[in-house]
Amino acid sequence: MTKIIGLTGGIGSGKTTVANEFATLGIPVYIADLEAKKMMQTDSVLNQIKEEFGSTVFDKGVLLRDKLSEIVFNDKKKLAKLNNIVHPAVKLHFKEWLLEHQNNPCVIYESAILFESGSYKECDYIVNVVAPLEIRIQRVIERDKTTREKVLERVKNQWNDEEKSSKSDFIVKNTSMEAIKLEIVKILNFLGIKQMKS
């Protein structure tokens, strides 16, 4: 039976870096946030978004993602409503993806909202990636060309590190690439999973 390892962490913590490192070791990685963006281009999800948020988040039938983001990241209830539309579609897609990788000893399910969405319940183990808040803020400002205020808004809408870590089996401190690699090897050794690539 394929083990599902949930991978999460606050915004800017370096989840993608950790996910990529697992991938270089030959472990299949499912990036839920990326797949959610794809799902948000499907007719069924778009219709539900229009029903819930109105036509103001659309322009000539095209979803205005920035406008929708501004609405949901400033309102936890609206964020929950959006997650309730997108998450079931992602869950279904992941099940199909998992069938394609059922011969692997484990897969990584990477999601920023692993706990908030309830996806953690589907995982056998959970890895939480942590990094100092100031470093995270700087990373996101540079990556998304955004402001400190907007980053802090998004941080506020996520569970904090303590909450996530208390429900996680492993904590990866993103202090350097070497530290990440060592932690991943420790996790795989603990799970008795041989690296498929070196």
pTM of the model: 0.88
16 is in an annotated binding site: yes
54 is in an annotated binding site: no
Domains and CATH numbers, the chain: 3-189 (3.40.50.300)
What order of strands is seen across the sheet that includes strand 125-130? Answer: 29-31, 106-110, 3-9, 125-130, 170-173
17 is in an annotated binding site: yes
147 is in an annotated binding site: no
12 is in an annotated binding site: yes
42 is in an annotated binding site: no
The tens place of each residue's pLDDT in the chain, 198 residues long, gives 899 999 999 999 999 999 999 999 999 999 998 999 999 999 999 999 999 999 999 999 899 998 998 898 778 899 889 989 999 999 999 999 999 999 999 999 999 889 988 899 999 999 999 999 999 999 999 999 999 998 998 888 788 999 999 999 999 999 899 999 999 999 999 998 876 554
Question: What DSSP assignment string belongs to 50-84?
Answer: HHHH-GGGEETTEE-HHHHHHHHHT-HHHHHHHHH
